[in-house]
């Protein structure tokens, strides 16, 4: 293991999450220099996390001689510039989500790092939650058969900083903010070699006085026939709703990353000014999460990134994945405008995936639609005549 020195670009909420992961526990990697547009915020961030230096020059941070890895934790409209500069400087670069505001932007960023030959990782934390990693492994091991449907849902009452609400800076609304997570979670379950073929999306601005969507629902049809479904909302009440459901031909997986994960607290409310941690209420039933940076995937994400860098292998989440996500989001916005299924336009490198298997079995020359065990030990079959299409019930003794 090689201990890395990091130039952190940005000092906002996401940079705080990253620093808490990197400097938390007994990690060997350390932030060496922080860049903020504001001298004060740079100072405060460095004080908070014990960082030896900070600067208001992005270029200076990237070129800091001791830093070998650049982490981009900036608002969306600054990603491309930062990645280009890091690639130019020959540094490894890790970029927060979404990669770009559009697929075109993401594609230029992908080209930049590939041209420079630098290591590049896409910081999609929610694909690295411990539950997701283990669940994806189970799916690959065949535990639920072929994946037929994946629902990924992310919803909360809206982002905490002003720039998130300005589509000119971000590229959109709740899809750009939250949908990028969902799409890549769906891809991990459906299989990264499973091409997203077409998209159907509907958006609405229901509650907040903004132009961009505060709610969206989308369907993604994959090459295998599997359907991805995501729901994103900036108008959800009650905390943070972060759940995934995966259906397969032989099984089911349900993941919950936040509310109701084994920590439940009721408080009649505070004497002595006690305020509980979570936004919506300071009293009543609360559902805290133990170690947020671990549960949300930040810890495993950085482990994969730095260990991949050490070992010369490709990380789980790459700039190419970021580009695919942007391509799907572009298709979502197009579909919502056109109110129709639209193809995902994409420079596909991912290979092919066969259609979901559904081979009929036969009994006595009839197609078996369903077989179930009766309480008396016999089997009930629902059969279909291949000629007439007529259906019938039949009860048989097993082995027969």
Residue written as tokens 């932007």? 105
Q: Exactly one of 38, 57, 59, 267 binds its own copies (CB under 8 A); which one?
A: 267
Within 10 angstroms of residue 355's Cβ, the number of other Cβ atoms is: 11
With CB under 8 A as the contact rule, the residue among 17, 287, 348, 363 that binds its own copies is 287
Site for its own copies in 305-324 (CB under 8 A): 306-307
Min separation Cβ 344 and its own copies, Å: 15
- Residue closer to its own copies, measured from CB, 83 or 344: 344
Residue of 17, 294, 350, 363 interacting with its own copies (CB under 8 A): 294
- Which range, of 53-61, 75-83, 111-119, 337-345, touches its own copies by CB under 8 A? 337-345
Residues 3-32 that bind its own copies (CB under 8 A): 3, 24-29
- State yes or no: residue 75 binds its own copies (CB under 8 A): no
CB of 332 to its own copies, least distance (A): 14
Residue 65, C-beta contacts closer than 8 angstroms, at least 6 positions apart: none
Distances from the Cα of 118 to the Cα of 53, 90, 91, angstroms: 24, 6, 6
Is residue 337 within the footprint of its own copies (CB under 8 A)?
A: no
Nearer to its own copies, 107 or 221 (CB): 221
**Of residues 195-234, which lie at the interface with its own copies (CB under 8 A)?**
200, 202, 204, 206-211, 215, 217, 219, 221, 225, 227, 229, 231, 233
Q: Rounded to an integer, what distance in angstroms lies between the CA atom of residue 73 and that of residue 95? A: 7
For position 392 contacting its own copies by CB under 8 A, the verdict is yes
Q: Long-range pairs for 215-221 at CB < 8 Å and ≥24 separation?
A: 215/174, 216/173, 216/174, 216/175, 216/179, 216/332, 216/336, 218/175, 218/179, 218/332, 218/335, 220/183, 220/186, 220/196, 220/328, 220/344, 221/196, 221/197, 221/341
Q: Give the binding range for its own copies (CB under 8 A) out of 106-114, 115-123, 174-182, 270-278.
A: 270-278
User: Does 398 help bind its own copies (rule: CB under 8 A)?
Assistant: no
Contact 123, 301 (CB under 8 A): yes
CB of 326 closer than 8 Å to CB of 345: no
For residue 391, state whether it binds its own copies (rule: CB under 8 A).
yes
State yes or no: residue 38 binds its own copies (CB under 8 A): no
Question: What is the spatial distance between Cα 264 and Cα 250, in angstroms, rounded to a whole number?
Answer: 32
């Amino acid at each position: 293991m090689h201990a890395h020195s990091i130039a952190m670009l940005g000092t906002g909420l996401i940079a705080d999450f990253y620093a808490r992961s990197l400097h938390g526990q007994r990690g060997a990697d350390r932030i060496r220099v922080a860049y903020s547009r504001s001298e004060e915020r740079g100072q405060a961030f460095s004080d908070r996390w014990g960082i030896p230096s900070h600067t208001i020059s992005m270029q200076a941070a990237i070129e800091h001689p001791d830093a070998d890895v650049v982490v981009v934790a900036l608002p969306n409209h600054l990603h491309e510039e930062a990645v280009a500069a890091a690639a130019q400087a020959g540094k490894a670069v890790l970029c927060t989500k979404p990669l770009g505001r559009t697929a075109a932007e993401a594609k230029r960023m992908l080209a930049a790092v590939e041209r420079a030959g630098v290591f590049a990782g896409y910081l999609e934390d929610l694909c690295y939650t411990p539950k997701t990693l283990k669940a994806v492994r189970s799916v690959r091991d065949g535990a639920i058969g072929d994946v037929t449907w994946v629902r990924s849902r992310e919803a909360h009452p809206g982002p905490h900083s002003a720039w998130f609400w300005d589509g000119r800076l971000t590229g959109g609304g709740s899809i750009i903010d939250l949908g990028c997570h969902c799409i890549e979670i769906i891809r991990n379950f459906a299989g990264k070699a499973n091409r997203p073929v077409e998209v159907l999306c509907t958006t609405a601005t229901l509650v907040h006085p903004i132009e961009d969507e505060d709610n969206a629902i989308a369907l993604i049809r994959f090459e295998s026939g599997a359907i991805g479904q995501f729901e994103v909302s900036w108008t959800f009440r009650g905390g943070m709703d972060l759940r995934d459901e995966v259906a397969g031909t032989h099984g089911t997986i349900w993941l919950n990353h936040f509310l109701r994960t084994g920590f439940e607290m009721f408080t009649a409310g505070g004497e002595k000014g006690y305020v509980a941690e979570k936004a919506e209420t300071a009293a009543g039933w609360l559902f805290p999460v133990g170690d947020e940076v671990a549960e949300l995937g930040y810890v495993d994400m950085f482990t994969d990134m730095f260990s991949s860098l050490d070992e010369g292998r490709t990380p789980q989440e790459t700039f190419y994945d970021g580009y695919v996500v942007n391509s799907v989001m572009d298709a979502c916005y197009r579909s919502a405008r056109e109110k129709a299924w639209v193809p995902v336009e994409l420079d596909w490198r991912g290979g092919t995936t066969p259609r979901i298997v559904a081979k009929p079995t036969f009994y006595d020359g009839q197609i078996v639609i369903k077989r179930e065990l009766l309480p008396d030990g016999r089997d009930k079959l629902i059969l279909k005549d291949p000629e007439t299409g007529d259906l019938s019930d039949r009860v048989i003794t097993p082995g027969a």
